[in-house]
Structure 1
């Protein structure tokens, strides 16, 4: 009962924030993130562990600085769901710059898997990519624990003509979308457990990494195009960065194909390390016999 009313209150708050200037909401989220960082928490501890594992060569001071900035970004991103879920297309157009290496309006776009990488701007990037494609897309989502929030999130993410499917039911649906020449958006750079996964290095640490992207690309004869939603400085909005399709991908080797995604991340994260999603337990699943790092 409490969670149901809590969800209703949270959704109402996001709808209210959507009516306010983006800069105000972003600053409010930034300040709330700064405040929450002062309080010991499990999520704060996870951020520090991830950064120490991935960047052991950094000084303690640098890791602390990135952790503090990331925590502010992460909390801010939750408040910014307001404009991302409930803001008008016109408002989003003013907030999102697009930097694309491919023509998103190409009528002859081949079967394409758009691979969203989990930087804090992924929500804005995914929704605006869907809008920018000007065609029906497929999009995979991870079910939420609260059904009311999940229903609202699905409606918001599909409002620019996207068909949604749960990750658990995805393979056949994705292949059907690709056969119908619908671009498909999905994320794969998180720890979803050992099913359809392999251990490959991520900044030198064995990370449980999905193999589904390469397999779907192979069976669906699709190109893989990574994209990143970047939060711009000074509360100016976002930049949607769409990269070139990966060459010579998939290879047919699950480990090599999974490694390709992690290697790409290793190239991109140093450009804005505070924006990668370090609050996630990226190393939750360990190789057999290895102790938990958390």
Structure 2
């Protein structure tokens, strides 16, 4: 992506940050529905994922769910202007926080906050960083300039941004020092350090990094989900109780537990999960590709 294109994108996001949230959200929803009308690679991926995970629906039901998803995804891209360039107070006004654990507990054990790729994940992480110290893992983008902007803006409220490829030793050190770490492990990053376990009944390449980090640091694993609220009212960050008996000592058992928890959350608002990702990119040996 040329430097000028990146500059134009950043300028557009800055301009969007000055607009009322409801205006941005409504326009993003409209634009997403419009874009769904045209054939695209991403539309194909969404429909493949939905057919695999929710067998038995009619084609109209798949199309309706995919259209709603496109509305949310495109919204999330435009709302990133507010998330990246809006003020701390604007983020706090937009995001409700509900927690099943005491976030101010000075004697809390090392904590891994386990996130999932719902469309609101980014703003939920940013809201948390306005309140308490945290480190957050990110995946480097293919465009260095855009990646630098994203890293800087995501961490502007004090979050320590750590590239996913960083050594486990550094992350364990942060956990043992008392700083919570946020990361997500629900995407297909390849077979290395992963196991194949069911996700909605389909074998999915699932990372084992959370299990490994939890064992090394003796950390509790606390799931969190950010939901987009109806009627353009903003978002809700929900922090759950720590997963029971996690880590179990078995990577496969832990991966199954993560996927089971995620499935339960997806069923609450399936249109908000990031179906545009190729969740089944890698397949067990001997099984054909699906995309």
TM range (shorter): over 0.9
On the 8 A contact 1:215/1:252 being kept in 2, the answer is: no
Cα drift, residue 162 of structure 1: 1.4
After superposition, give the CA deviation of every residue in 1:67-103 in whole Å (9 maximum; x if it has no partner). 1000110111011111111111111111110111112
| CA-to-aligned-CA distance 1:263-294 (integer Å, 9 cap, x gap) | 00111111100000000000000111111100
Matches of 1:182 and 1:10 in 2, distance apart? 33
C-alpha distance in 2 between matches for 1:41 and 1:250: 40
Tell me the SS of whatever aligns to 1:213.
Answer: helix
Q: Residues 225-240 of structure 1: matches in 2 within 5 Å? A: 225-240=222-237
How far apart are the structure 2 equivalents of 1:87 and 1:254? 40
Q: Name the SS of the counterpart of 1:80 in structure 2.
A: helix
Partner of 2:62: 63
Deviation at 1:225, TM superposition (A): 0.5
The match for 2:16 is: 17
**Structure-2 residue corresponding to 1:7:** 6
Q: 1:109 deviation in Å?
A: 2.2
Structure 2 counterparts to residues 79-94 of structure 1, below 5 A: 79-94=78-93
- TM norm structure 1: 0.97
Cα distance in 1 between the residues matched to 2:47 and 2:225: 23
Q: Aligned ranges for residues 1-294 of structure 1 at < 5 Å?
A: 3-132=2-131, 134-135=132-133, 137-294=134-291
- Report runs of 4+ in structure 1 exceeding 6 Å deviation: none
Report the Cα distance in structure 2 between the residues aligned to 1:106 and 1:12, rounded to whole angstroms: 40
Q: How many residues end up aligned between the 2 structures?
A: 291
Let me know the Cα RMSD of the aligned residues: 1.0
> CA–CA distance in 2 between the matches of 1:107 and 1:149?
37
* Contact 1:201 1:262 (8 Å CA) reproduced: yes
Residues 188/205 of structure 1: CA separation in 2 closer, same or farther (3 Å cut): same
Which 5+ residue runs of structure 2 have no aligned equivalent? none
Shift of 1:13: 0.5
